[in-house]
Structure 1
Amino acid sequence: MAKNFKMLAKTLYGLEALLAQELRQLGASNIEIGTRNVTFEGDMGFMYKVNLCCRTAIKVLKPITGFNVFTEDDLYKKVYEIPWEQYMEANGSLAVDATVYSKQFTHSQYIALKTKDAIVDRFRDKEGERPNVDLDHPTLRINVHIDRNICTISLDSSGQSLHKRGYKIENTIAPINEVLAAGIIMLSGWQGQCDFLDPMCGGGTFLTEAAMIACNIPPNLNRAEFGFETWPDFDVDLYEVIEEAALKKIKDFHFKIYGYDKDPLALRKAKENVRNANLSEFIELEVQDFFATEKQTERPMYLVFNPPYDERISVTDIEKFYAEIGNTLKRGYPGTQAWMITSNMEALKHVGLRPSRRIKLYNGKLESKLVRYEMYEGSRKASKQ
């Protein structure tokens, strides 16, 4: 029977409970929620499954050792003692990422450099040759985490961040992170039970993530590679079994996903991204100014969108722009749940609608609010009766 081991999945602030729920549904054990991370246990096949199937994970780390450190020399000596030849060949390549929360150690790049030196020196001393550094496609990506004086060394099973799904070939200005987009859709409660609209769709990230959620398509199916594929113990047959099992769980979707944008160039990029994800049959894209539209059917609908914040995309009159969002929702979109993320709290006041829910998230480094507006048919009172 395959042996279980401890892992840590990183995520974005505010998505920790969603990630724990995903891990639980996939079959993880001993789940514990942290800040921007969730720890859990599973075997090698489960590690493959989490990388392939988790929508809200950014990294999946496999800790290999932990120790106390008090100086940089301490770190060097203890990293040097790790039998790195078990994890890679001397002629391979490596990359080291470090995060530090410590008064003693304050410079993460220096910690990464010191770790790299220790590994390289061990190989040179023991085997007469040393691995190279390759930041983009290393044989082994190593994570160093120092919390006060406790150092944890992990292998990064994901490689590049898992938000890089592999479908996005055309980027627009201020695109939303794929993990954040999936998390927002999951927080909204939409699972494919009705129509879905992103009225300011840009490069189509919300649309693509929504289609994958509706059809239960593994989010990282289009990725070129995972970190674990270059590990000495990578079991390609086991990975193919995991992938095949996930593909068998794909399901039909019986509603429509719509995307509007008034910028034809943005819409062209969205079409390319959607086509690259093999999701064109589920997503309809139109050049439309949201403020000149109304709902096309009487069926229930979810709106999920990321309007300009007047940060990376400037708007001439941001307060008027947000007021127009509220007017359009009131006038043209009865019977909808509208979810919107923004970091512009002042402009948000001008929407003129009372949010029924507010959730704190971060879009990059911008503290943001995800808000829900419930647009009832007729009056709210009538809908309750």
Structure 2
Amino acid sequence: MSDRFELYLTCPKGLESLLAEEARGLGLEEVREHTSAIRGSADMETAYRLCLWSRLGNRVLLVLKRFTMKNADDLYDGVHEVEWQDHLEASGSLAVEFSGHGSGIDNTHFGALKVKDAIVDKLRTREGERPTVDKLNPDLRVHLRLDRGEAILSLDLSGHSLHQRGYRLQQGAAPLKENLAAAVLIRAGWPRIAAEGGALADPMCGVGTFLVEAAMIAADIAPNLKRERWGFSAWLGHVPALWRKLHDEAQARAQAGLARPPLWIRGYEADPRLIQPGRNNVERAGLSDWVKIYQGEVGSFEPRPDQNQKGLVICNPPYGERLGDEASLLYLYQNLGERLRQSCLNWEAAVFTGAPDLGKRMGIRSHKQYAFWNGALPCKLLLIKVQPDQFVTGERRQPERDAQGNDTQRTAAAVASEPARLSEGGQMFANRLQKNLKQLSKWAKREHVSCYRLYDADMPEYALAIDLYQDWVHVQEYAAPRSVDPEKAQARLFDALAAIPQALGIDQSRVVVKRRERQSGTRQYERQSTQGQFLEVSEGGVKLLVNLTDYLDTGLFLDHRPMRMRIQREAAGKRFLNLFCYTATASVHAAKGGARSTTSVDLSRTYLDWARRNLSLNGFSDKNRLEQGDVMAWLQACREEYDLIFIDPPTFSNSKRMEGVFDVQRDHVELLDLAIARLAPGGVLYFSNNFRKFQLDERLAERYAVEEISAQTLDPDFARNSKIHRAWRIQAR
């Protein structure tokens, strides 16, 4: 065999130019790029060095022979001519990989079989001994690539793909392969930043792949230093002394690198299930002094490097598996952009994304973009300099326009001064709305409330509930009693609907109307429409999602605002339980108030998905548990303790227990007994419901300390309707 060989290095699509640059640096000559591969010429030492040091390659293939072929017989003959006794013992084992088609070979399995037959026939001894096939750990891995009538026959020196460094046994939901992570770091300028002593932080680190690869680059550790078995280990052409020399050199470099003061490399991950697997990966890589992983939310991410360090923030936001849907992802990117602008000024940032459009939502311009592939998924790497001149003020979220503030009043006043074109009843209704708006908008502005009830059947003939959600109006029509002429009821509704846009200065397209009737069973939860439009509103420093179109209720019970604020004030350091949680707005408030943990239980998967989005919108995620289940059954199985419990059950609810239907009047004693059994010493339970005829069982006051607080849980927008709900504060005696 000659001293120089033709080598092929394969890699993920999109890394070819980076791999070519890396391979030249490691000694490969006459380098040429192909799709998902490069080739060049090298001696044996360089081939070994590429195996040991390539951070970007998948396989190192040493070409034995090229030959043209027209059919399967040519393939057999071309392979059979090779002196296989120079490469493999007759008693050895073999695996064959075949790629490409043409020249009469349409099936890669058939092609591999032909190659295997040719090698085995060549090596078969007189006694009939011949190599066996071992697909997992063969002595020799042979690769044949068929390309436009030419066969390229190679030995695979790497064995298992080089991206399998051996440190990552546990993976997250959508893991990046190690060589792709290394490529992203190199493109992001990490080798330069590391050489300058810079820091690295990953706010969504998963199981820590970026962190480990970054530390290996910074500490000058060969990526495959710890690999014990190679494709050349049992190859007869292997030169052990040469390999040992290179391996010892790499070992010495790693020891020297690890002896230097470690760089500040930190990862944060919201999902508590990934923390230990990530730390295990770091430990297996031998980098526990360099890399630290903490549990943390993106919404509160703040690198705190020593001595005011600067460096690189790098992340691969989830593609949807971990945080739900695109809406959640949008908030994730917005939170990320916000944190970069607020906490990482003068750092560099690299965001590797499968959804580049979401990258624009961060509110910072990328100065450079690179295209990559993560498997079959096209991705972009956005490189960002976190500096004020890169901030996109137009795309940053402005404070919500206060639709109930002075602008609206001016608009409303202007409308009122125009000649009235409303019916007498319509004008009367418009006047009432404007009067209510004038009174309530000042309170709403002062309390930073962006959605509230403006009108609730104040005039009995106009049986509507009207809620403002910023610059949207949500109208619910109460079903008229049978004594009212349906035509008159319809005419009044039309009068009111004509008055609403004029009186409030709001576009007609932003008025949503629903009919509210006594709902049987689970009708109250049924989907009314499928427009799927979610609107972000704010209250008490938290952001919440409402859907004005798809369901009878919007996802936010406005009358419970004071209760949610009370929970936020009392939640610090407490374990919070939210039963019949609906969209978990109370849990978001508890998390905002500093709850140690929140657990939210509901039977509806739809509402739990909504709850997950509410939490992620505020930068909260999986430390806030969402449990799907029937509340009564869940409580009976539960053994945990909680310091603060909130229960706001529906009047009726279909479930698998309670004779098929939960009835708040009939079942509230059992419900409260079960819940109080889960209350920690000194804990507080808040119970409320909106059943107009509800009576709290007197026996409860004998067992527990019970205080009715209904009057304290009504804001000015519900002062006209004191029967909207009743509420109690309950403690174990």
Is the TM-score greater than 0.5? yes
* Partners of 2:70 and 2:103 within 8 A in 1: no
Q: Paired residue for 2:288? A: 280
Q: How far, CA to CA, are the matches of 1:106 and 1:315 in structure 2?
A: 42
Query: Deviation per CA, 1:86-126, whole angstroms, max 9, x where unpaired?
Result: 21111111111122164854432332222122222333376
Q: Paired residue for 2:166? A: 166
1:324, CA displacement in angstroms?
Answer: 2.2
Q: How far, CA to CA, are the matches of 2:90 and 2:337 in structure 1?
A: 61
Are positions 1:293 and 2:304 aligned together?
no
1:305 maps to amino acid: C
Query: Deviation per CA, 1:179-212, whole angstroms, max 9, x where unpaired?
Result: 1011110111112130001111111111111001
Q: Quick check: which has more Rg, 1 or 2?
A: 2
Query: Deviation per CA, 1:335-380, whole angstroms, max 9, x where unpaired?
Result: 121111122244334333322111111111111111112111x445
2:271 maps to amino acid: D
Are positions 1:328 and 2:336 aligned together?
no
Q: How far, CA to CA, are the matches of 2:92 and 2:125 in structure 1?
A: 16
Question: Which deviates more from structure 2 when the two are superposed, residues 133-142 or residues 19-28?
Answer: 19-28
* Partners of 1:302 and 1:338 within 8 A in 2: yes
Q: How do 1:117-128 and structure 2 match up within 5 A?
A: 117-124=117-124, 128=128
Aligned mate of 1:203, from 204, 207, 230 = 207
1:43, CA displacement in angstroms?
Answer: 1.6
Q: How far, CA to CA, are the matches of 1:349 and 1:127 in structure 2?
A: 70
Are positions 1:107 and 2:107 aligned together?
yes
1:129, CA displacement in angstroms?
Answer: 2.1
1:328, CA displacement in angstroms?
Answer: 2.1
Q: How far, CA to CA, are the matches of 1:360 and 1:261 in structure 2?
A: 26
Alpha carbons of structure 1 residues 224 and 122: separation in structure 2 relative to 1, 3 Å? same
Q: Paired residue for 2:132? A: 132
Q: How far, CA to CA, are the matches of 1:223 and 1:287 in structure 2?
A: 30
Alpha carbons of structure 1 residues 326 and 79: separation in structure 2 relative to 1, 3 Å? same
Q: Paired residue for 2:371? A: 360
2:331 maps to amino acid: K
* Partners of 2:262 and 2:290 within 8 A in 1: no
Q: How far, CA to CA, are the matches of 2:277 and 2:133 in structure 1?
A: 34
Aligned mate of 2:268, from 244, 260, 267 = 260
* Partners of 1:156 and 1:227 within 8 A in 2: yes
Q: How far, CA to CA, are the matches of 1:40 and 1:153 in structure 2?
A: 15
Alpha carbons of structure 1 residues 308 and 8: separation in structure 2 relative to 1, 3 Å? same
* Partners of 2:101 and 2:108 within 8 A in 1: no
Alpha carbons of structure 1 residues 103 and 68: separation in structure 2 relative to 1, 3 Å? closer
Alpha carbons of structure 1 residues 360 and 32: separation in structure 2 relative to 1, 3 Å? same
1:290, CA displacement in angstroms?
Answer: 2.0
What secondary structure does 1:73 align onto? helix
Alpha carbons of structure 1 residues 72 and 213: separation in structure 2 relative to 1, 3 Å? same
1:166, CA displacement in angstroms?
Answer: 1.4
1:299, CA displacement in angstroms?
Answer: 2.1
Q: Paired residue for 2:5? A: 5
Alpha carbons of structure 1 residues 106 and 198: separation in structure 2 relative to 1, 3 Å? farther
Q: How far, CA to CA, are the matches of 1:95 and 1:254 in structure 2?
A: 42
Q: How far, CA to CA, are the matches of 1:102 and 1:12 in structure 2?
A: 24
1:71 maps to amino acid: N
Q: Paired residue for 2:27? A: 27
Question: Which deviates more from structure 2 when the two are superposed, residues 107-116 or residues 280-289?
Answer: 107-116
Are positions 1:347 and 2:339 aligned together?
no
Q: How far, CA to CA, are the matches of 2:5 and 2:67 in structure 1?
A: 18
Question: Which deviates more from structure 2 when the two are superposed, residues 191-200 or residues 93-102?
Answer: 93-102
1:301 maps to amino acid: G
**Residue ranges of structure 2 left out of the alignment (5+ in a row):** 392-733
Q: TM (normalized to structure 2)?
A: 0.49
Q: How far, CA to CA, are the matches of 2:129 and 2:101 in structure 1?
A: 34
Q: Paired residue for 1:144? A: 144
Q: How far, CA to CA, are the matches of 1:353 and 1:99 in structure 2?
A: 44
1:207 maps to amino acid: L
Q: How do 1:60-79 and structure 2 match up within 5 A?
A: 60-79=60-79
**Residue ranges of structure 1 left out of the alignment (5+ in a row):** none
What secondary structure does 1:8 align onto? strand
Q: How far, CA to CA, are the matches of 1:59 and 1:253 in structure 2?
A: 33
1:288, CA displacement in angstroms?
Answer: 0.7
2:319 maps to amino acid: Y
Query: Deviation per CA, 1:31-80, whole angstroms, max 9, x where unpaired?
Result: 22222222222222221111011111111000001111122232123222
Are positions 1:234 and 2:255 aligned together?
no
1:315 maps to amino acid: G
Q: How far, CA to CA, are the matches of 1:220 and 1:327 in structure 2?
A: 38
1:70 maps to amino acid: K
Question: Which deviates more from structure 2 when the two are superposed, residues 71-80 or residues 173-182?
Answer: 71-80
* Partners of 2:71 and 2:103 within 8 A in 1: no
Question: Which deviates more from structure 2 when the two are superposed, residues 93-102 or residues 281-290?
Answer: 93-102
What secondary structure does 1:176 align onto? coil
1:369 maps to amino acid: K
Aligned residues: 378
* Partners of 1:104 and 1:148 within 8 A in 2: no
Q: How far, CA to CA, are the matches of 2:371 and 2:106 in structure 1?
A: 28
Q: Paired residue for 2:89? A: 89
What secondary structure does 2:385 align onto? strand
Q: How far, CA to CA, are the matches of 2:75 and 2:6 in structure 1?
A: 22
RMSD: 2.0
* Partners of 1:299 and 1:335 within 8 A in 2: no
Q: Paired residue for 2:187? A: 187
Q: How far, CA to CA, are the matches of 2:351 and 2:106 in structure 1?
A: 37
Are positions 1:303 and 2:313 aligned together?
yes
Q: How far, CA to CA, are the matches of 2:322 and 2:124 in structure 1?
A: 50
* Partners of 2:268 and 2:293 within 8 A in 1: yes
1:223, CA displacement in angstroms?
Answer: 1.2
* Partners of 1:84 and 1:119 within 8 A in 2: yes
Q: TM (normalized to structure 1)?
A: 0.92
1:127, CA displacement in angstroms?
Answer: 6.0
* Partners of 2:199 and 2:312 within 8 A in 1: yes
2:372 maps to amino acid: L
1:268, CA displacement in angstroms?
Answer: 0.5
1:333, CA displacement in angstroms?
Answer: 1.7
1:22 maps to amino acid: E
Alpha carbons of structure 1 residues 127 and 204: separation in structure 2 relative to 1, 3 Å? farther
Aligned residues with identical type, % of pairs:
34
Q: How far, CA to CA, are the matches of 1:178 and 1:244 in structure 2?
A: 23
Question: Which deviates more from structure 2 when the two are superposed, residues 296-305 or residues 129-138?
Answer: 296-305
Q: How far, CA to CA, are the matches of 1:339 and 1:80 in structure 2?
A: 51
Alpha carbons of structure 1 residues 126 and 338: separation in structure 2 relative to 1, 3 Å? farther
Q: How far, CA to CA, are the matches of 2:74 and 2:98 in structure 1?
A: 16
What secondary structure does 1:19 align onto? helix
